[in-house]
């Protein structure tokens, strides 16, 4: 019995870590702009493919230039970091094209939901045209885990080694981010902007720069997530990031929009809840996540750890 | 070249756009339309394939009165469900309401996928056809659209419509003015659900087959795009948006592999270039004042 | 007179006018849309400049089935080249030129319907497709009503040929193929008793196929310890696997698609499962190699196509496949797409040689083509095939293969293990 509880916890933690990462990406942008970036899922996919190409992968038969690849072949860790940077740049581009023009005009936040969606569609389809729809395995992926066994056993419960790696890196990224937000100057500035856009600007903080920073950071998170998931389950097509996008959205609201610890807690909770669904009812697992979400929203509208902004008259 | 089949799909898109527009006109961002659309379609699929009384013939035909009965029942079912759910959900504001309705869509989708009588992953196929070909569907779909459009047109002048506009502008102020905001929001939500359910009935017959994948988050977002691009301030906006965005991927076929990229670009640049959408109140006012004061 | 209409009145008038305009536009489009159905037009003779018959193909080039669509496009394209080549070398035997028109059917029902209707307007003589069974249920009735032959290259769900007289397929039913791999597993280990089953419960195909697998298991006196339901979009199976492993299964049966199935196999092996694995048709593609990599090794599968079949047409297929730049062996779905084109092409030529396409309308030509199609025998890369009067394919030869990965785990091959001839299949 103890075994199965631990096993369930492990199962939940593995998926929960990635959910938390995706939710964090959303949270950063939501906290400063009050909007959801629907291109986040597409950026996730980009991170995966970028990592693949940076590791020396070649474009497959169904891509635009079969056999073509980058002139580099980096080891996994380096490729992951560079891919995260590339994704950050892409995220900034999304901000420039889909968000900035609307913000300048003072348009309804609703509009940027749509434009970011458009950006996501464009990105995913460009990826498809470039790389084709087939699956890709990272070229030297095995080397990243060289020497390590395929799985680890902790007190009778099994977990894939790669999941442990995933969890560790996600946790590391999350911790680094939280520390940075808490301690560093720009981190505090970002939080100030999240609290109140106008006041922050009055205090001399360059709100626009903070917005760009938020996008860049969320791009880094998406890039890391995409690359890590690609290592764990291979790149399964340009749309693979999109499904994480939707789940991440649910986690985002569960934990409380705009709350970093909320996103983390929400992610782990969601992963755990899914792991607890018995096998017979596994078809209902998807509904469970959203049913929990629904219930939380009705009982605690601000999410678990979020704060509701009272309407100011 | 738009053939009648595509035209029917465009009009169905317009109907779904209107369904998303109605709560929005009362200031509520509800993305629940695909849930009620799916429920309406499932009801029609089940009734016409399982209920012999409806006369779904072995040759795959369906008498017209049966179609009307299905529409009535779907309207009833979705209306009641919307009234129940709306009471719970409409307490939420802004993005929280949006996400709650997204959750609703997912729950309905998974329910339809898992319930034993809705056909599971395969869904229900061989749905009887009230009309021999696509052109036949133009009549009921256009009829429904005209009905819905007429309703929305009248709404602006009716007290309910004005109350909706007041709630949209400033809910707190509207409350202070004595408007029963809950009632107003609920009415809009129920109307939207009834419209979506009826559209589902027609769509199920048109598509011959129905399954859980007809009402998903993607549909939520697509129908929202209809409204945003078409114009969220007047009912003609979602109609135009729905027709245009439904037709666009088909019209872009000659472009080949890049057609979805172009489609994405339209959605990306639309709100940037036309912030209030295509059909704005200003445009309508200009159209309305044509021919008057021209001699000034 | 100054206009003292309120903005509300103006807006109301404006929207009324715009609505009227829209209604008029819709009406006009509806009238225009009732364009002359090309079916009533007479068929030009073979030698005329517009004498080429159009074969339409609707396959999934976008959406989540695009992986299969890509492979099908290749198969159809190769078959077209091969057919054109034969016609060039021997014009007397192949008198009627044939043209291919390919459209994207995406992965949803609406797009397939739209693509079918586009094809019908173009006056195709027959259709190949659509990729997904789901789409077939929606779009095939349209072709059936208009009397256009449809040859499905990859629809394996139950009930497809039964949609109507004009609907047929070259992809054998899973009820025939699936049990063969179970038999192979039992042959390797006759003492095995403990079986676990995984299937993608939101996939129409896998749901139908797993029922066949379960039937085959029951027929051998085996009852699964556990039946785990997964989802198509799932890529983490830790929960399902750790629920099953403590029961120490000796055989795992998987009915899913390439990507989720591939990850399931990889994770089963990583988490310590060492028994046999049998998979269904959804994993019958080299697309699993990048997903399960070196862990794919040893997986058993029953196939309707084997690259090792040594017939002239299969050799030609393999040669053209390699020329196209693709690596490794062609997947079954590509061979089946080739077969779909081939049977239609050959039926057209036979009909033309007999004079059956002389002085008829398009509608009549389609009817005759369907009859001709069902009555023929064809030597395809799948082996010799023919059709039941219902349009179901009759294929006598099937294959059981085992995946053998090359060292390095990047490339592999479905290595033929056993050929099975099923006599009396479909009559």
Q: How large is the average pLDDT for residues C415-426?
A: 73
Residue A292 contacts residue A278 (beta carbons within 8 Å): no
Residues B38-75 as b or e (16 or more Cβ within 10 Å = b) = bbbbbbbbbbbbeeeebebeeebebeeebbebbbebbb
Q: What would you measure as the largest C-alpha separation in chain B, in angstroms?
A: 70
Q: Does residue A6 have a pLDDT over 90?
A: no
Specify whether the CB–CB gap between C151 and C126 falls below 8 A: yes
What pLDDT digit, counting tens, does each position of A35-69 carry?
A: 889 899 999 999 999 999 999 888 887 788 888 88
CA distance to partner chain C, nearest, from residue A108 (Å): 22
- The larger pLDDT score, comparing residue B11 to residue B1, is at B11
Q: Can you tell me the distance from the alpha carbon of B162 to that of C8, in angstroms, rounded to the nearest whole number?
A: 11
* Superfamily, domain C53-172+309-395: Response regulator (3.40.50.2300)
In the predicted model, is pLDDT for residue A142 greater than 60?
no
Looking up tokens 């109307």 gives: B191
pLDDT over 90 (residue B286): no
The answer to whether C15 contacts B126, with C-beta atoms less than 8 Å apart, is no
Residue C36, pLDDT score: 63
Q: Quick check: C158 and C181 in contact, CB under 8 A?
A: no
Q: Residues, chain C, total?
A: 427
A279/C236 CB distance under 8 A: no
**CB–CB contact A115 B271 (8 Å):** yes
Look at B1 and C121 and tell me if their CB atoms are within 8 Å. Answer: yes
Which of A97-106, A288-297, C218-227 tops mean pLDDT? C218-227
Q: Which residue has the higher pLDDT, A307 or C69?
A: C69
First-residue to last-residue Cα distance in chain C: 87
More confident residue, C79 or B115: C79
| Contact yes or no for C12 and B153 at CB 8 A | yes
pLDDT category, A34, cuts 50, 70, 90?
confident
Residues of C in contact with B146 (CB under 8 A): 23
Residue A2's pLDDT band, with cuts at 50, 70 and 90, is very low
Above pLDDT 90, what percent of chain C?
53
- Give the residue from chain C lying closest to B290, CA to CA: C14
pLDDT digits (tens, 9 = 90+) for C186-241: 999 999 999 999 999 888 788 888 999 999 999 999 999 989 988 887 888 888 89
Chain C residues with CB inside 8 Å of A236's CB?
235, 259, 263, 291
pLDDT band at residue A311 under the 50/70/90 scheme: very low
Residue C2 has pLDDT above 60, yes or no: no
Domain range annotation of chain A: 2-13+25-239
For residue A158, the chain C residues in CB contact (below 8 A) are: 242, 245, 271-272
Within 257-296 of C, beta carbons closer than 8 Å to A belong to 258-259, 262-263, 266-267, 269-272, 287-291, 293-294
The 3-state DSSP class for residue A273 equals helix
Which residues in A200-237 are b (16+ Cβ under 10 Å) and which e? beeeebebeebbbbbbbbbbbbbbbbbbbbbbbbbbbb
Which residues in chain A have their CB less than 8 angstroms from residue C333's CB? none
Q: What is the mean pLDDT of residues A114-127?
A: 90
Instruction: Select the residue of A107, A113, A286 nearest B110 (Cβ to Cβ).
Output: A286
Strands (E), chain B: 124-125, 209-210
Does residue B296 surpass a pLDDT of 50?
no
ipTM: 0.85
One-letter-per-residue 3-state SS of B91-157: CCCHHHHHHHHHHHHHHHHHHHHHCHHHCCCCCEECCCECCCCHHHHHHHHHHHHHHHHHHHHHHCC
> Which pLDDT score, from 0 to 100, does residue C108 have?
85
Which of residues A83 and A313 earns the better pLDDT score? A83
Q: Which residue of C has its CA nearest to A66?
A: C325
* Mean per-residue pLDDT of chain B: 87
Q: Looking at residues C126-131, what average pLDDT do you find?
A: 95
Check: CB of residue C262 under 8 Å from CB of residue A232.
no
**Whether C23 contacts chain B with CB within 8 A:** yes
B115 touches chain A (CB under 8 A): no
Choose the closest CB to B2 out of C23, C29, C139. C29
User: Average pLDDT, stretch C247-256?
Assistant: 94
The DSSP secondary-structure symbol of C277 reads: E
The C-alpha of B87 sits at a distance from chain C's nearest C-alpha, in angstroms, of 32
For residue C233, the chain A residue with the least C-alpha distance is A243
DSSP line for C49-115: TT-PEEEEEEE--SSTTHHHHHHHHHHHHHHHHHHHHHHHH-TTT--S-EEEEEEE--SSHHHHHHH
Q: How does the average pLDDT of chain C come out, rounded? A: 89
Chain C residues with CB-CB distance to A275 below 8 A: 238-239
C-alpha to C-alpha distance for B198 and A197, rounded to whole angstroms: 44
Whether the per-residue pLDDT at C267 is higher than 60: the answer is: yes
Residues 6+ apart with CB under 8 A from A129: A63, A64, B257, B258, B261
pLDDT over 80 (residue A300) = no
For domain C175-303+399-421, give the fold: Rossmann fold (3.40.50)
Residue A286 reports pLDDT greater than 80? no
B217 contacts chain A (CB < 8 A): yes
What tens digit of pLDDT does each residue of A157-167 get?
A: 888 888 888 88
User: pLDDT value at position B65?
Assistant: 85
User: What confidence score (pLDDT) does residue C57 get?
Assistant: 97
Rounded CA separation C77/C83 (Å) = 10
Nearest-CB residue to A114 (from B93, B103, B267): B267
Give mean pLDDT, residues A167-180.
Answer: 85
Using the predicted structure, report yes or no on whether residue B237 has a pLDDT greater than 50. Answer: yes
> Does the CB of C14 have a partner CB in chain B at under 8 Å?
yes
Assess whether the region C53-172+309-395 and the region C175-303+399-421 belong to the same CATH fold. yes
Q: What average pLDDT score do residues C144-148 get?
A: 92
Q: Which of B3, B7, B125 sits opposite C26 (nearest CB)?
A: B7
The residue with greater pLDDT, C315 or C208, is C315
Q: How much is the pLDDT for A312?
A: 43
Nearest to A78 by CA among A56, A58, A59: A56
pLDDT class for A113, splitting at 50, 70, 90? confident
- Going by pLDDT thresholds of 50, 70 and 90, the confidence category of residue C1 is very low
Candidates B232, B266, B267: best to mutate against A (most CBs of A within 10 A) is B267
Q: Tell me if residue C147 falls in helix, strand or coil.
A: coil
Helices (H), C194-307: 204-219, 238-244, 258-270, 289-292
Q: Do C239 and A11 touch (CB under 8 A)?
A: yes
Q: Can you give the pLDDT at residue B221? A: 81
Tell me what the mean pLDDT of segment C144-156 comes to: 92
Q: Which two tokens stand for residue C29?
A: 């489009």
Q: What are phi and psi of A262, to 5 degrees?
A: -65, -40
> Given pLDDT bands bounded at 50, 70 and 90, which one contains residue A313?
very low
* Domain range annotation of chain C: 53-172+309-395, 175-303+399-421
Asked if C235 lies within 8 A of A240 by C-beta distance, the reply is: yes
Q: For residues C54-59, give the mean pLDDT.
A: 96
Minimal CA–CA distance to C263: which of C283, C242, C281? C283
- pLDDT at A307 (0 to 100): 56
List the subunits that have 3+ CB pairs under 8 angstroms with B: A, C
pLDDT over 90 (residue A152): no
Average pLDDT over residues B168-197: 90
Query: Rounded CA gap, C327 and C323, in Å?
Result: 9
pLDDT of A309 higher than 70: no
CB contact under 8 A, A122 and B100: no
On the question of pLDDT at A14 being above 80, the answer is no
Asked whether the beta carbons of residue A237 and residue C64 sit closer than 8 angstroms, the reply is yes
Residue with tokens 């409409």: B90
Residue B153's nearest CA partner among A298, A13, C18 is C18
Count CB pairs under 8 A between chains B and C.
Answer: 148
pLDDT value of position C299:
95
Q: Does the distance separating the beta carbons of B260 and A34 come in below 8 Å?
A: no
Peptide bond into B220 cis (omega under 30): no
| Helices and strands per DSSP (H, E), number in chain A | 13, 2
């Amino acid at each position: 019995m103890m075994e199965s509880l631990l096993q369930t916890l492990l199962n939940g933690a593995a998926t929960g870590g990635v959910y938390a990462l995706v939710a964090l990406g959303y949270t950063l942008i939501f906290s400063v702009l009050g909007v959801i970036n629907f291109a986040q899922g597409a950026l996730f996919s980009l991170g995966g493919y970028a990592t693949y190409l940076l590791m020396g992968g070649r474009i497959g038969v169904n891509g635009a230039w079969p056999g073509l690849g980058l002139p580099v072949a980096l080891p996994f860790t380096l490729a992951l970091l560079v891919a995260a940077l590339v994704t950050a740049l892409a995220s900034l581009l999304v901000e420039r094209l889909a968000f900035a023009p609307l913000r300048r005009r003072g348009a309804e936040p609703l509009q940027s939901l749509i434009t970011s969606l458009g950006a996501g569609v464009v990105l995913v389809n460009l990826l498809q045209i470039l790389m084709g729809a087939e699956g890709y395995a990272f070229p030297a992926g095995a080397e990243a885990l060289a020497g390590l066994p395929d799985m680890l056993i902790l007190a009778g419960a099994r977990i894939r080694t790669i999941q442990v790696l995933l969890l560790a890196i996600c946790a590391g990224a999350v911790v680094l981010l939280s520390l940075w937000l808490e301690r560093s100057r720009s981190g505090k500035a970002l939080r100030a902007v999240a609290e109140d856009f106008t006041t922050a600007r009055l205090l001399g903080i360059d709100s626009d720069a903070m917005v760009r920073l938020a996008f860049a950071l969320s791009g880094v998170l998406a890039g890391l997530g995409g690359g890590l998931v690609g290592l764990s389950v291979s790149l399964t097509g340009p749309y693979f990031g999109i499904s994480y996008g939707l789940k991440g959205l649910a986690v985002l609201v569960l934990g409380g929009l705009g709350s970093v610890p909320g996103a983390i807690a929400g992610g782990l909770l969601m992963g755990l809840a899914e792991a607890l669904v018995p096998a017979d009812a596994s078809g209902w697992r998807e509904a469970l996540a959203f049913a929990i979400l629904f219930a939380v929203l009705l009982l605690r509208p601000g999410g678990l750890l979020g704060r509701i902004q009272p309407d100011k008259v | 070249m738009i053939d009648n089949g595509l035209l029917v799909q465009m009009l169905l898109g317009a109907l779904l756009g209107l369904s998303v527009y109605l709560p929005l006109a009362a200031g509520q961002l509800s993305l629940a339309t695909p849930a009620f659309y799916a429920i309406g379609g499932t009801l029609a699929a089940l009734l016409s394939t399982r209920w012999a009384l409806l006369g779904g013939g072995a040759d795959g035909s369906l008498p017209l009165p049966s179609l009307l009965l299905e529409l009535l029942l779907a309207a009833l079912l979705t209306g009641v469900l919307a009234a129940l759910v709306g009471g719970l959900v409409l307490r939420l504001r802004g993005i929280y309401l949006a996400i709650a309705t997204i959750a609703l869509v997912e729950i309905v989708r998974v329910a339809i996928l898992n319930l034993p009588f809705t056909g599971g992953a395969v869904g229900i196929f061989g749905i009887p056809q009230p009309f021999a070909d696509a052109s036949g569907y133009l009549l009921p779909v256009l009829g429904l659209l005209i009905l819905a459009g007429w309703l929305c047109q009248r709404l602006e002048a009716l007290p309910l419509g004005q109350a909706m506009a007041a709630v949209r502008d400033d809910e707190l102020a509207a409350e202070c003015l004595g408007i029963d905001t809950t009632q107003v929001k609920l009415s809009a939500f129920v109307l939207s659900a009834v419209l979506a359910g009826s559209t589902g009935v027609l769509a199920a017959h048109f598509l011959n087959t129905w399954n859980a994948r007809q009402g998903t988050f993607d549909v939520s977002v697509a129908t929202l795009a209809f409204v945003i691009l078409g114009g969220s301030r007047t009912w003609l906006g979602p109609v135009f948006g729905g027709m245009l965005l439904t037709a666009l991927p088909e019209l872009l076929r000659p472009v080949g592999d890049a057609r979805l990229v172009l489609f994405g670009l339209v959605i990306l640049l639309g709100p940037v270039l036309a912030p209030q959408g295509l059909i704005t109140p200003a445009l309508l006012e200009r159209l309305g004042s044509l021919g008057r004061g021209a001699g000034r | 007179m100054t206009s003292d209409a309120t903005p509300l009145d103006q807006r109301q008038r404006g929207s009324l006018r715009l609505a009227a305009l829209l209604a008029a536009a819709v009406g006009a489009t509806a009238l225009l849309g009732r364009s002359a159905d090309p079916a009533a037009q007479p068929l030009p003779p073979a030698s005329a400049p517009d004498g080429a018959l159009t074969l339409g193909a609707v396959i999934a080039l976008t959406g989540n089935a695009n992986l299969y669509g890509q492979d099908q496009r290749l198969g159809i394209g190769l078959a077209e080249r091969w057919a054109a080549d034969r016609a060039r070398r021997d014009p007397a035997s192949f008198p009627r030129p044939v043209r291919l028109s390919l459209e994207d059917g995406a992965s949803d029902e609406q797009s397939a319907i739209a693509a079918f209707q586009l094809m019908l307007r173009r006056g195709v003589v027959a259709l190949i497709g659509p990729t997904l069974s789901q789409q077939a249920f929606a779009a095939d009735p349209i072709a059936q009503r208009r009397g256009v032959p449809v040859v499905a290259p990859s629809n394996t769900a139950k009930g497809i040929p039964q949609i109507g007289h004009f609907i047929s397929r070259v992809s054998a039913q899973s009820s025939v193929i699936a049990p063969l791999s179970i038999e192979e597993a039992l042959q390797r280990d006759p003492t095995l008793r403990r079986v676990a089953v995984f299937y993608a419960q939101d996939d129409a195909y896998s749901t139908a196929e797993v029922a066949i697998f379960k039937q085959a298991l029951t027929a051998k006196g085996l009852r699964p310890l556990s039946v785990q339901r997964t989802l198509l979009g799932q890529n983490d199976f830790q929960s399902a696997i750790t629920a099953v492993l403590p029961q120490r299964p000796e055989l795992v049966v998987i009915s899913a698609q390439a990507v989720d199935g591939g990850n399931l196999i990889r994770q089963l092996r990583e988490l310590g499962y060492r028994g046999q694995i049998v998979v269904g048709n959804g994993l019958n593609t080299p697309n699993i190699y990048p997903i399960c990599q070196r862990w794919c090794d040893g997986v058993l599968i029953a196939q309707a196509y084997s690259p090792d079949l040594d017939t002239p047409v299969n050799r030609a297929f393999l040669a053209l496949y390699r020329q196209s730049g693709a690596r490794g062996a062609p997947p079954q779905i590509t061979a089946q797409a080739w077969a779909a084109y081939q049977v239609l092409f050959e039926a057209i030529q036979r009909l033309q040689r007999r004079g059956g396409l002389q002085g008829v309308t398009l509608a009549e030509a389609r009817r005759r083509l369907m009859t001709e199609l069902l009555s023929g025998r064809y030597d395809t890369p799948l082996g010799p095939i023919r059709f039941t009067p219902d349009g179901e394919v009759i294929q006598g030869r099937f294959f059981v293969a085992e995946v053998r990965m090359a060292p390095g785990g990047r490339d592999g091959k479905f290595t033929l293990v056993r050929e099975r001839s099923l006599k009396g299949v479909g009559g």
